[in-house]
Structure 1
């Protein structure tokens, strides 16, 4: 029987970041993932926001051009709302390259990584298990922790395009017929077109790949594909951070923890920030053996920071008719509506800074 300090289940960004930090503390860390290669089964859209780009060392070679312009469309596609930031707000990443970079850094820190290995792992016993195994986490169920109940599903196509004359733009379409409870998007950053949609699975009007292709073919002004298409997608938890995230046997990070913005469904910034808090708490617990340390990894406290976004999530999910969406856009076109939209899209707010959270807890 092989005994390790920490078994990390899932070699996505959350799992590899947590593994690197724990290995850097001197713990014996083993990462397993059922995928045989990390460029298979990519689920995230790969959209990084400004605060993540400012606070984390991401590989610049795998990031697309900066995006400052966002255009919001109602179902009719008429009179869209255009917002332009004075700062670089988004970059869309080649996630296969980002994962490869994160994998290399985790190994450099001393973590061992085994791909093509399913959980539970035969012949391996761990003092502590980190569940980074996605929205439908097996680790959460086996450890008796909370599981995600509120999910939407998303799909995206990415294809290279010929360079155009328009500035990089993030197009968002709110249409409950196409993407019930969420939105469709088209990002043209001058190198690639990223076209996708997400919504409640029980209200989608057909198979996601067909809906994405129909939307891509009909989107005005989107450059035609010049090469092969890459596809990605999967379930997205939008119910907010789960309350019970940790026990003496392990904890959850990333999508498994519900660390996704309830409103925007963005998960890359929360997964990195929550992973830092998870690594700090787990490392302290492994060193001290004091289960009271785990109270600092409190999902209920984190949820309190997202009450407004949870309410907005419920409101968005309740928009069921194109007429209601068009009416909402009338408010968005007013100065207060534009200011509110800009605050959501360009604001400095983010997932709570885990480093500050941990320093406060230790004080």
Structure 2
């Protein structure tokens, strides 16, 4: 039976980034994912924010044009509020290609990536799969999504507050649509969240998300209705791709680690509670997770694991969790229309710009990373 230092369950961005960093620390790393192709089952629009673009080395050729303009629409969709930044705030990635790039980087660092292998369960470091022989792992990293089975098996916290999202992706003719981010606030189509249209230079992304208990007709029906006349959309050309899945919005989970393993990405609740953005958090927490795992496996000191503490990270989310709860309670289109009217004032526009263009979407993990410099 094969033995590895670290088994990573899930070959999304969080899992592959963590695997690469651990392999670079001379640990034996295996990654498993039940998908047979990394282009299947994509659950993210792939919007990278400026802070991520500044701090991480993302492949530029896989990113669409910079987006500086955000248009906020009330339910009536009349007179949207235009917010313009003096720098590129968003770029949309070709996520299938980004995952493949991350896979090659992990394998180049020495990690072994196995697709078409479904994690079954773990007990005392003995891990069973459907599609491969069991392995013994010193440590397990759960990167298996919002409803993580690894989290349950390890007795760690699990996500309990979700939005559910769905998206249509279709080809467009480059240069036919402006690089703008259209956001429609309307609880009839996206209760507790918004509908969006954005393009990556080659594809248009049209989506909705909201609380499932309020989506009376189902997310797919709401998406189709929204896509029929969504603002800023380009006429579909060619085959249509659909994406969708749960989005955890309860904030970073408190209990993220134990002597047998830890959680990263959506499994850890590493998603901004208000904006539901998860790509920046997954990269940042993956860097901290890799440092903690390496330190723990090197020393065997469980105090190292305490540095991966969700309770401490949640303190930065207090304001956004309160705004999330307030936003969730607005179910009347008239109330949203009034709220958007308030955003037209100077103070309202400043608040909207701070949320959409600010740098504070996720806690800075660098001070914690500095404690593990000797394990890099």
TM-score, normalized by the shorter chain, greater than 0.5 = yes
Q: 1:22 to 1:360 in 2, by over 3 A?
A: closer
1:292 counterpart SS class: coil
Q: Number of aligned residue pairs: give it.
A: 363
Deviation per CA, 1:71-97: give whole Å up to 9, x if none.
Answer: 000101112110000000001111000
Larger displacement relative to structure 2 (198-207 or 68-77): 198-207
2:220 equivalent among 199, 209, 218:
209
Unaligned runs of 5+ in 2: 121-127
Tell me what 1:357 maps to: 368
Larger displacement relative to structure 2 (188-197 or 242-251): 188-197
In 1, the alpha carbon distance for the partners of 2:51 and 2:111 equals: 27
Deviation per CA, 1:71-125: give whole Å up to 9, x if none.
Answer: 0001011121100000000011110000000000000000001111111334211
2:362 counterpart SS class: coil
2:309 equivalent among 292, 298, 311:
298
In 1, the alpha carbon distance for the partners of 2:137 and 2:368 equals: 27
In 1, the alpha carbon distance for the partners of 2:108 and 2:195 equals: 39
Tell me what 1:13 maps to: 13
Tell me what 1:185 maps to: 196
- 2:105 matched to 1:94? no
1:218 equivalent among 219, 229, 239:
229
Deviation per CA, 1:26-46: give whole Å up to 9, x if none.
Answer: 001000001111110001110
TM-score under structure 1 length normalisation: 0.97
Tell me what 1:109 maps to: 109
In 2, the alpha carbon distance for the partners of 1:362 and 1:164 equals: 45
Tell me what 2:124 maps to: none
In 1, the alpha carbon distance for the partners of 2:177 and 2:42 equals: 29
Q: 1:36 to 1:361 in 2, by over 3 A?
A: closer
Tell me what 1:175 maps to: 186
Deviation per CA, 1:265-310: give whole Å up to 9, x if none.
Answer: 0000000000000000010000000111101000000000110000
Tell me what 2:53 maps to: 53
TM-score under structure 2 length normalisation: 0.94
Q: 1:216 to 1:361 in 2, by over 3 A?
A: same
Q: Work out whether residues 75 and 326 of structure 1, in 8 Å CA contact, stay in contact via their aligned partners in 2.
A: yes
Q: 1:170 to 1:6 in 2, by over 3 A?
A: same
Q: RMSD of the alignment, in Å?
A: 1.4
What displacement does 1:241 show?
0.1
Tell me what 1:307 maps to: 318
Tell me what 1:287 maps to: 298
2:211 equivalent among 200, 225, 230:
200
In 2, the alpha carbon distance for the partners of 1:156 and 1:357 equals: 36
In 1, the alpha carbon distance for the partners of 2:300 and 2:290 equals: 15
2:255 equivalent among 227, 237, 244:
244
Unaligned runs of 5+ in 1: none
Tell me what 1:234 maps to: 245
1:291 counterpart SS class: coil
Tell me what 2:67 maps to: 67
Tell me what 1:77 maps to: 77
Q: Work out whether residues 181 and 199 of structure 1, in 8 Å CA contact, stay in contact via their aligned partners in 2.
A: yes
Deviation per CA, 1:185-211: give whole Å up to 9, x if none.
Answer: 011455321100000111113232222
What displacement does 1:353 show?
2.6
